[in-house]
Amino acid sequence: MLVLGLESSCDETGVALYDTGKGLRGHAVHSQVAMHEEYGGVVPELASRDHIRRLIPLLEKVLAEAGAHKGDIGAIAYTSGPGLAGALLVGASFAEALAAALGVPALPVHHLEGHLLSPLLSRDPPEFPFVALLVSGGHTQLMRVGGVGAYELLGESLDDAAGEAFDKTAKLLGLGYPGGPALARLAMQGGPGRFRLPRPMLNSGDFDFSFSGLKTAVLTAARERALTNAEKADLAWEFQEAVAEVLAAKAMAALRQCGLTRLVVAGGVGANRRLRERLDADAAAGGRRVFYPELELCTDNGAMIAFCGARRLMAGAHPGGGGAFAIRPRWPLNELTAG
């Protein structure tokens, strides 16, 4: 079956075709970074309007790439939540209308489940069960994953997620949007010794996270004096090191508690090079292994939604119908079931 995947939860429009027999046939993503850059962050109304403009051209591009036609589509999977309400509504209404026109089922997909399963699209996919570290822009969670729909929440961020802390810290340092990649580039020019930031909840004895205090510590350091470029680079290095240390320590502790050796890392922050270095080193020291999606699939994309929808359909999920649908801007991942 050829499954069309549509992603429109925030500021990327993603379209992809996944063949349950042949794998990923094609995918394309349009990023709105340039449009939102002058505002210093995502403007929801602008994001929604841009999704409307991009969906049809991206669909036509992916169909051409795959050598397929609309009539070849057997099902449509789309992001139903969590995310920006207006952006979700664009993708959901487009998907449901197209499904009705083609006479095929439409399946709402959880955005974070798409991220969680995205490493299964890689050339060397992990096997179930595993521990998953979800580090997307607005979410930092540790989950035990027994299979598709079998998710046990181990811990999550109590305030700012890691991605939010990266973006806010970048703004404090006067960096551009998006802040996370800009801060990571600056950190490459810095080093240890000048600053020492806290490692929030590192020894809390649980799997929860808190990064708002780390951001505040950066603010305090930045307010003490006008920072030189070299000092900003060192502060960025220390901030990134603190986040990586906490994420890696909690992830390794979760593996030990669950008695598992496989860690899956998904979400945009999972592309951070220093985080990957720290996770890989800590995992290797304990005889464990870390799995990542391909770099192009770390950020929001339609491929993960198409794949997730396909796995759900293969597991016996029942798509909606009759033109009725709903979006869920807030949707806890652990509410999902296997059916």
User: ω into residue 82 within 30 of 0, thus cis?
Assistant: yes
Average per-residue pLDDT in the chain? 95
- Strand partners of residue 6: 15, 78
Tokens of residue 149, six digits: 């729909």
Task: List CB contacts of 303: < 8 A, sequence separation 6 or more.
Answer: 5, 14, 16, 18, 24, 27, 118, 121, 297
Query: What is the Cα Rg of the chain in Å?
Result: 20
pLDDT digits (tens, 9 = 90+) for 150-209: 999 999 999 999 999 999 999 999 998 889 999 999 999 999 999 999 999 999 999 999
pLDDT digits (tens, 9 = 90+) for 16-35: 999 999 999 999 999 999 99
Confidence of residue 317 (pLDDT cuts 50, 70, 90): confident
Task: List CB contacts of 311: < 8 A, sequence separation 6 or more.
Answer: 117, 120, 148
Angle made by CA atoms 112, 270, 78, in degrees to the nearest 5: 25
Q: Is the pTM of this model over 0.85?
A: yes
pLDDT at 225: 83
As assigned by CATH, the class of the 2-116+297-335 domain is alpha beta
CA distance 292 to 270: 7
Is the pLDDT at 321 greater than 60? The verdict is: no
Read off the pLDDT of each residue in 83-111 and give the average, rounded to a whole number: 97
User: ω into residue 119 within 30 of 0, thus cis?
Assistant: no
Residues of the chain with CATH 3.30.420.40: 2-116+297-335, 128-292
Quickly name the fold that domain 128-292 has.
Nucleotidyltransferase; domain 5 (3.30.420)
- Calculate the CA 114 to chain-centre distance: 8
Report the percentage of the chain scoring pLDDT > 90.
89
